[in-house]
Every structure is written in C-alpha cells, then in structure tokens.
Structure 1
Amino acid sequence: MDENNSYPSPKRAWLTVGILLIAYVLSFVDRQILNLLVEPIRRDLQISDTEMSLLMGLSFAIFYTVAGIPLGRIADSKSRRGLIAGGVAVWSLMTAFCGLAQQYWHFIIGRIGVGAGEAALSPAAYSLIADSFAPNRRATAISVYAMGIYLGAGAAFLLGGIVVTWANARGAMVLPVFGEVRPWQLIFLVLGAAGLMFCLVLLAIKEPTRKGIGAGVAVPLKDVAKYLVGIRKAVLCHNFGFACLSFASYGASAWIPTFFIRNHGLTAGEVGIYYGSLVMVAGSLGIVFGGRLADYLA
C-alpha cells in the first residue's frame, strides 16, 4: 500500500481493474449473445418478435435495475469480492438455464436470473475502483472497466457469430446428462460453464481499504435519502439522461443483427464479424478517451 494515501500499489490496483473488466466482458457476452440468436430461438420456441424483445430487454432490465439497489447497499459494507463472485455464479447458472429452456416461460425465468445476478457487479466494482485509485486517476480506471461494455458486446457478436456458424454446421448434439441440445442451447451452456470457472479468478482480487464517509459502515438510509434529495436535480437529470441513452442504444443494438440478416441477406457469422469488430474497436477507443479526458479536465 502507498503510505502517503493508503491506496493500493498501481500494479495491484490495475490487476483489480483487469479482473473486473473480464467479469464485465463476460456479463455483456451473456446478455448480448441473445441478439445474434433471434431467428433460431424464435423458430424453436415458436414465439413472436415482441415476445423475443421481452426476453432481450424487459425481463432482464427490470430485475437488473431493481436488484441493483439492495445489492449496492450490501456492497457498501460487506465483501465486494464475495458479492461479485456470488453474482457471477448466479448469472452463469441462469445463462446455462436459458440453454435448457424448452418453453418460453423457462427462458423468461432464466433472463430474470441473469439480470438479477449481473446487478451485483457494477455497484461492487465501482466501489473497489474508487478505493483503489486517487480521484485524479479514477475516471481513467472506470473507463477501462467500462470498456467491458464494448468488448463484451463486440465479443458476443464476433465470437458468437463464429460459434453460431460452427454449431449450425454440426446441427443438434447429444451431451451427457443434458441429452440432445440445439446449437443455440449449446452456446448458452458453454457461456454458463465459462462464467462459473471464472469465479476462481476473482480470488486474486484483494479488497482495498474503504475510504470516504462511513469507511465500511453502512450510512443510515435516511441520510442517503437526505443526500439524494439535496442533489435531486443532478440525480434526476443524470438518471433520466442515461435512461434515454440506454433506451435508444440498447433498443437499436438488439435488432441490428436481425435487420442485416433479414434485409441484407447476411449470415449470423458475417454480422458477428462486421458489427462485432466495429463495436469492440470504436466503442473501446471512445470510452477510454473519454475517461482520460475527464481526468484531464478535472
């Protein structure tokens, strides 16, 4: 630890960010891979585009949003590494459960579980990063972590497209215990298994000393409410603005692969390579530049 400010060494701090980045990538692969598998899932479950959109968005988003508040409260005073590990385990198991879905409501339950599990990651990750970096370096560190959005989404399309092409060429497979599984089901099972194995990597995170108000002691909820009321204009503008941004960006990206498949005759593999590469490169460059700029302006 740095004796002057009690922050971890740069090596330890960036190791924490790197592990959190991988976790964020995995979370976005799990939530975004669905966008590339619209047609086979619709066909096998015999559902409409509207029902498919509920799987991609609403069933996930509501529980991701609601669960994030109590999980953030836990991250304020309990083990953040343990909370993230629990979240990764839950969303990985529920991703695998999606791969076992035989009916529409099975898939709904799976997506709800994925949303609730992934809600544990960012509150705890932001807390870990804030306690690992001094304020003048914090925006850059957070932007590197946030690269997981674009690396994960891009990887879901890029690697997903390759896997979809391979799996479709092989057709249905018979697995021990699970029996016959379709190509899209196999993808969810593999992603679930990868997430569970990643839980072991989280052991490399060392909890930094808590800093700031409370320093590990949960601030009374009435004080939290009082603080939020005091900055209500900033909170409302910030949250409403990001809600609109997410509404537009997630709504568009959810159907971009299907649009190119249906209207331009591309295969899932081709869309994955073109669109996935664009998201990974442009998105990552943009968010890291933004973080560096924010630190400079601060």
Structure 2
Amino acid sequence: MTSPTDTASTPLTAPAAPRLWPHAGWAWFAVAALMVAYTSSFIDRQILSLLVEPIRKNLTITDTQFSLLAGLAFSLFYTVMGVPMAKVADRGSRRIIIFFGIVIWSVMTVGCGLANSFWALFAARIGVGIGEATLSPAAYSMISDYFPPRRRARALAVYSMAPYLGSGLALMIGGGVIDLIAKAGEMRLPIVGVLEPWQQTFVLVGAPGLLIAALFLIVREPPRHGVVSTGVQSGVLKFMWARKSTFYTMILAFSVFGMAGISYLSWMPAVLIRTHGWAPAQVGVAYGAILIFAATPGVLIGGWITDKLAARGRADAPLYTAVLALVAAIPFAIATPLLPDANWALASLAAFSFCAGVMNSLPATALQSVSPNQFRAQVTAIYFLIGNLISLGLGPTLVAAISDSLLGGPQHIGTALAIVSGVTITIASLMLIRALPAFRASVAEASDWQGHSK
C-alpha cells in the first residue's frame, strides 16, 4: 500500500510558532451552540416529511412534485453548495459564515410557511439547502481548532449527536405539535394574509433559528492550528488524491455504510407498519425514542472510546473504533427487519442504532486528524458530497428495487433491507480495515506539521 508521504510531490511544513488552545469554557460553549444549530437544522429538514398530505392538498401537487421538494430542491443544493461554502470557511471567519448561514436557512424556513405555490415552496427549500450547507464543514473545522487531538473526538461527537436528536425530536413530538396547530385552524395575519396550519408549522419551526444565530455573535473564532505553509498550493483535490489510500478509501467506506443507515431511516418504518401492523404514529414515537436514547449515546461513547484509545498511543483510533462498531452492527442490521416479534425487532433496532451512532461519531474525527487546517472544511464538504450521492442516491432505491424486482413486492421490504444492510456494512468494514495502514501513515505525516497540537 502506498504511503501518503511517498505520493506527496511537495513536503508539508507548518509555521514555526504554535498557538495556545482556547479556554475550555469558550470551547464547550461553541460546541453547544453548534450542536443546537445542527439539531435545529435537522428539525427543519424532518418536519417536511410530516406535512406531506396537507401540502399536497393545499397546493394541489403530485407525489412526484413533493419528492422534488424533499429531494432535489434541498439535497442537491445542500451537497453541491457545501464545497464552495467550505472553501470560504477555510479562508475566512467560520463564525460569521455560520451566523449568516443560520439566518438564511431560518428565514427561508419561514419563507416555506409563506409560500402559496409549488414553485415558491421549491425556491424556499433551495434557500434552506444553501443556508444549511454552510454549517457542518465550518463547524468541524472550528471544533478542531478549539480542542487538541487527544480531546477532539468527544467534542466532535457532541456535535454529531445533533442529527439523531433533531430527527428523533421531530418524529416524537412533531406530529403532536402539527395536530395542535391543525386543531387551532388557519391564522390571519396583516399583510401576509391567511396561513394554513402547515404554513404556521414552518413559521414556528423557522423563527427560533434567528435566536440561535445570535449565539454566534458571542462565540469566538478560535486561532487556526495545523496550518501548513508549503505543500498545499496545488489545492485540496490534489492533496487528497496524493493520499487516496487514506482519504478516498475512508470516504467510500463511510458512504457505503451510509447506504445502510439511510435505508433503515427510509424503510424500517414501513417494515413496522407492513409486517407488525403498527400505526404511523406508533412508529414515529418508537423510532424517535430509539434515535434519542440509543443512537445518541452511541455517538458520545464512540467519541469517548476514540479519545481513550488515542491517549494510549493508538494512531488509528477513529478507524479502529469504526471497524469495531461496524462488525458489531452486522448481526443486528440483518436480524432487525426479519424478526417476527415487534418487541424483539425494536430491541434489535436499538442495538443497531447504538452501533450506528458509534460509527457516525468517527468520520469527522478521522478526516480532521489528517487534513491541514486550510483544507479541513473542504475535505468535510467533499465527504458530504460523495456520501450523500452514494447513501441517499443508492441506498433506499436499491432496497426498493430488490423488493419489487427480485423478492415479489412490498411485503418483502424487510428481507430486502436485511440484504442491503448486511452486504453494505460488511463491505464498509473490509474497506476500513484495508485503510488502516494508510491512515496510520497519514497520522504520522500530520504529526510533523501539528506536533505542537498533541
């Protein structure tokens, strides 16, 4: 296997004078603010899926048009715009970029509530995607400059809890909030006019984001650590390609695992409804609780284990922990949709979600640990771009195709989910095992230009 330093055309060197790390209080305040912002963004995303019927009825749109609102309008612009936004974050104030990003997606979420046509709602969803594209690449870079490597995994794990918290809260309480607003009926406002209950929901979800944005007027921009003075002039893509055994093997492995994770979020509710006869409301509460109380602790424990292993001198701690989590997840991923008893299925789902949480705490730590400061946000954005294309683009569709074309129809969706999840997680495990030597070499290279950061 090729060592990353063998392929680098120009050695990387860091500035001579190191900088002190920020005070722990300010660092954790920033992590908390970033986590709240990230949680809010996932509530904004998830709430649309709970408003399918009232939006279709009120705007007279088809299922295909609604899928464009949930998919193309948001996901395409979120993933594609992440790369240029990340380039700005690697060069400028990440705090200010995040501030304006939160303002944009909050205003645009409120705009969803003011939309009275398909195209107005489509445009607002594009705005939400562009605003949210600013957050994670800048946040990962920022957190990495708040904490030295030995304490970084736990901090990144706290931030990485947000998708599970946001999605879980939306599933658990979103339906109830929507029902309360629906019972209150339409609202008439000056200038705006009449707002239907689904429109009021968007306004209620989006408006608090402006208060969250205000937190970033208090958050401090940390000094940059691990800045490389030479060897990065050719750009992020050439830097990553020269170390492809590290970067692209990891990114592809994480993305292949994402196929299983997204497939579960997309199809496990259908398994509970079709196989076990559950009502959608039951599924929302149960799955939301599992995301909050099983997956979220998994994220924290993944960060804690990684920091402990790193403190004991294990250079490949993030990938080693990820491999352990993936191997542990395989039996639960296969068994969950096949179990005939609903209670056992939920218990197995909780175990799988815990393992997935451990796994999902680690991509950020692994990628940040081997990226120069001026590339950290861009590496994250490239990972999101590739990861979303593979996981969102292939995972749920592959499950449906196997169920419809090979297994005989909708009642076999659980078997298809078990097949896709078992195969993809196994492949991801083998890819990460293959990446371990290259990753250790990249960590050794990184220590040369951030040795003061240990």
> In structure 1, what is the equivalent of residue 237 of structure 2?
225
Q: How does 1:1-298 map to 2 (within 5 A)?
A: 6-214=20-228, 220=233, 222-250=234-262, 252-253=264-265, 264=277, 266=279, 268=281, 270-298=282-310
Q: Does the 8 Å contact 2:19/2:223 carry over to 1?
A: no
- Separation of aligned partners in 2, 1:258 and 1:172: 31
- Separation of aligned partners in 1, 2:270 and 2:195: 23
Q: Does the 8 Å contact 1:36/1:272 carry over to 2?
A: no
Q: Return the TM-score normalized by structure 1.
A: 0.88
Any idea what the Cα deviations from partners look like across 1:202-227, whole Å, max 9, x if unmatched?
22211111111248x9x64x232321
Any idea what the Cα deviations from partners look like across 1:130-181, whole Å, max 9, x if unmatched?
1110101111110100111111111222231221110121222222332211
Q: Does the 8 Å contact 1:38/1:258 carry over to 2?
A: no
Aligned-residue Cα RMSD (Å) equals: 2.5
Q: Does the 8 Å contact 2:164/2:292 carry over to 1?
A: yes
Deviation at 1:47, TM superposition (A): 2.7
Change beyond 3 A, Cα 1:32–1:250: farther
Deviation at 1:83, TM superposition (A): 0.3
Task: Select between 56-65 and 14-23 the one with higher mean Cα deviation.
Answer: 56-65
Q: Does the 8 Å contact 2:157/2:303 carry over to 1?
A: yes
Query: Where does the alignment leave 5 or more consecutive residues of structure 2 unmatched?
Result: 1-17, 311-454
- Separation of aligned partners in 2, 1:247 and 1:182: 36
Q: Rg bigger for which structure?
A: 2
Number of residue pairs matched by the alignment: 291
- Separation of aligned partners in 2, 1:99 and 1:234: 44
- Separation of aligned partners in 1, 2:184 and 2:272: 24
Amino acid at match of 2:35: L
SS of the residue corresponding to residue 37 of structure 1 reads: helix
SS of the residue corresponding to residue 191 of structure 2 reads: coil
Choose between structure 1 and 2 for higher RCO, CA contacts under 8 A separated by at least 6 residues: 1
Task: Select between 237-246 and 79-88 the one with higher mean Cα deviation.
Answer: 237-246
Change beyond 3 A, Cα 1:262–1:202: farther
Query: Where does the alignment leave 5 or more consecutive residues of structure 1 unmatched?
Result: none
Q: Does the 8 Å contact 1:35/1:258 carry over to 2?
A: no
Any idea what the Cα deviations from partners look like across 1:54-80, whole Å, max 9, x if unmatched?
222232111111111111111112111
Q: Does the 8 Å contact 1:139/1:295 carry over to 2?
A: yes
SS of the residue corresponding to residue 44 of structure 1 reads: helix
Q: Does the 8 Å contact 2:272/2:278 carry over to 1?
A: yes
- Separation of aligned partners in 2, 1:55 and 1:251: 19
Q: Return the TM-score normalized by structure 2.
A: 0.59
Task: Select between 134-143 and 98-107 the one with higher mean Cα deviation.
Answer: 98-107
SS of the residue corresponding to residue 285 of structure 1 reads: helix
Change beyond 3 A, Cα 1:261–1:86: farther
SS of the residue corresponding to residue 76 of structure 1 reads: helix
- Separation of aligned partners in 2, 1:111 and 1:245: 27
Deviation at 1:26, TM superposition (A): 0.7
- Separation of aligned partners in 2, 1:256 and 1:96: 31
Q: Does the 8 Å contact 2:33/2:212 carry over to 1?
A: no
- Separation of aligned partners in 2, 1:99 and 1:246: 31
